[in-house]
Amino acid sequence: MSLRIGRPKVKRGESFDLVIVGGGPAGLSAAIYASRFLLKTVVLTVDVGGQLNLTNWVEDYPGLGRIQASELVEKFRKHAESFGVNVVWGVEVKGVERVGDSTFKVTGTGGVEVYANTVLLAVGARRRKLGVPGEEELVGKGVSYCSVCDAPLFKGSKAVAVVGGGDSALEGASLLSSYVGRVYLIHRRDSFRAKPFLVADVKSRGNVEFLLNSVVTEIIGGEAVRAVKVLNKATGEEKVLDVEGVFIEIGFEPSIEFFKSIGLETDDYGYVKVDEWMRTNIPGVFAAGDAISTWRGFRQIVTAAATGAVAAYSAYQYLIEKGLYRSPDRT
């Protein structure tokens, strides 16, 4: 019996050399490399693109110049599929369980149940959202969750808002101040959690305005962001700021419970611990991309793709070392 999720399908009970969980840059890069090692590979993912679906344009991926994020996602997917990788979207993987000395059972929504000798987790990390009116509708239209990624796209803008009080928010405000006329830094507390030197740097910028004890209650716009509504929690005053972009930098949420259910070791923040070869504490299980503890403060497409490639190579080496590498004849 074949299970259809949109157009792709996977046979219930089918066996693979490698199951990749996650269809962002890390997962799809891993799929490309795994297929080049002639591993029978399937990608199971909720959606194709991961964090790329939260932005509009990409300017920092080597060799491609300025490209729409959706187009880059398609390039990743088609590249993987051109090597015969089955990319199955619409599936949320719920369990990874060892069922033998060298076999894992991977189960997911829609009745998905497949088996593999190796599993690569590239599930990313969910960016925390504000949950205010206008946010979802304006993602990619001025709402961004990555200042480092998207700041250059707002060059010449009159004003943008940055929401948050940690390192990423302060770094984003500092970077954006070089591109736009004014930056509103909105933080719900009266002090920042960011490193002191970052706070000092932003305070030295003449075009950054601090709005402390304040929260965004609405993001306003149609085809693009036009303004944000901000509430001062101390005074009760509410005002509307004209901005062309809103950068939400309030942190990430790793899939801690999912990782725990598998038995993976995580760091203090809940990200999967890996070594330099993307190996986890469970032999045969690898991790890559935003899900791992490595480079936690620098989440980029290129680094996700790099870790995916390394993880695929490690899975290939593991299969050889364990005598599990099958004949490359897939016909």
Residues 259 and 110 in one domain: yes
If we measure between CA atoms, which residue out of 319, 324, 322, 313 comes closest to residue 30? Answer: 313
Q: What is the pLDDT of residue 2?
A: 36
Interior angle at CA 81, CA 60 and CA 322, nearest 5: 100
CA distances from 229 to 106, 187, 241 (A): 45, 13, 6
Residues 110 and 165 in one domain: no
Residues carrying an active site annotation: 146, 149-150
Collapsing DSSP states into helix, strand and coil, what is residue 89?
A: strand
Is residue 255 a contact partner of residue 125, using CB atoms and an 8 Å limit? yes
Collapsing DSSP states into helix, strand and coil, what is residue 42?
A: strand
Q: What is the pLDDT of residue 27?
A: 96
Collapsing DSSP states into helix, strand and coil, what is residue 269?
A: coil
Domain end residue (candidates: 248, 264, 288): 248
CA distances from 152 to 115, 135, 175, 269 (A): 44, 21, 9, 29
Residues 30 and 17 in one domain: yes
Is residue 46 a contact partner of residue 20, using CB atoms and an 8 Å limit? no
Q: What is the pLDDT of residue 285?
A: 98
Residues 167 and 222 in one domain: yes
Q: What is the pLDDT of residue 4?
A: 37
Q: Assess if residue 151 is contained within a domain.
A: yes
Q: What is the pLDDT of residue 331?
A: 42
Q: What is the pLDDT of residue 55?
A: 67
Residues 242 and 133 in one domain: yes
Per the structure, the count of domains in the chain is 2
Stated as kind and residue range, the H or E segment containing 153 is none
Q: Assess if residue 157 is contained within a domain.
A: yes
Q: Assess if residue 107 is contained within a domain.
A: yes
Residues 267 and 242 in one domain: no
CATH number, domain with residue 83: 3.50.50.60
Stated as kind and residue range, the H or E segment containing 45 is strand 41-48
Interior angle at CA 100, CA 97 and CA 106, nearest 5: 30
In tens digits, what is the pLDDT along the chain, a chain of 331 residues? 334 334 567 899 999 999 999 999 999 999 999 999 999 999 999 888 887 876 667 888 899 888 888 899 899 999 988 988 899 988 999 999 999 888 999 999 989 999 999 999 999 877 788 999 999 999 889 999 888 778 888 999 999 999 999 888 998 999 999 999 999 999 999 999 888 989 999 999 999 999 999 999 999 999 999 999 999 999 999 999 999 999 999 987 888 899 999 999 999 989 999 999 999 999 999 999 999 998 876 778 999 999 999 999 999 999 999 999 876 654 4
Half-sphere exposure of residue 158: CA atoms within 13 angstroms, side-chain side: 7
Token pair for 306: 């790099």
Q: Assess if residue 294 is contained within a domain.
A: yes
Token pair for 239: 């005002």
Q: What is the pLDDT of residue 188?
A: 95
Interior angle at CA 47, CA 217 and CA 326, nearest 5: 150
Residues 279 and 239 in one domain: no
Residues 175 and 281 in one domain: no
Residues 22 and 116 in one domain: yes
Residues 105 and 171 in one domain: no
Domain that holds residue 163: 129-248
Q: What is the pLDDT of residue 252?
A: 77
Q: Assess if residue 51 is contained within a domain.
A: yes
Token pair for 81: 């599929």
Angle in degrees, 0-180, between the axes of helices 25-36 and 301-321, rounded to the nearest 10: 40
Q: Assess if residue 329 is contained within a domain.
A: no
Domain end residue (candidates: 222, 248, 274): 248
Residues 76 and 178 in one domain: no
Q: What is the pLDDT of residue 70?
A: 84
Q: What is the pLDDT of residue 1?
A: 34
Collapsing DSSP states into helix, strand and coil, what is residue 36?
A: helix
Residues 188 and 100 in one domain: no
Domain end residue (candidates: 197, 217, 248): 248
Q: Assess if residue 274 is contained within a domain.
A: yes
Q: Assess if residue 232 is contained within a domain.
A: yes
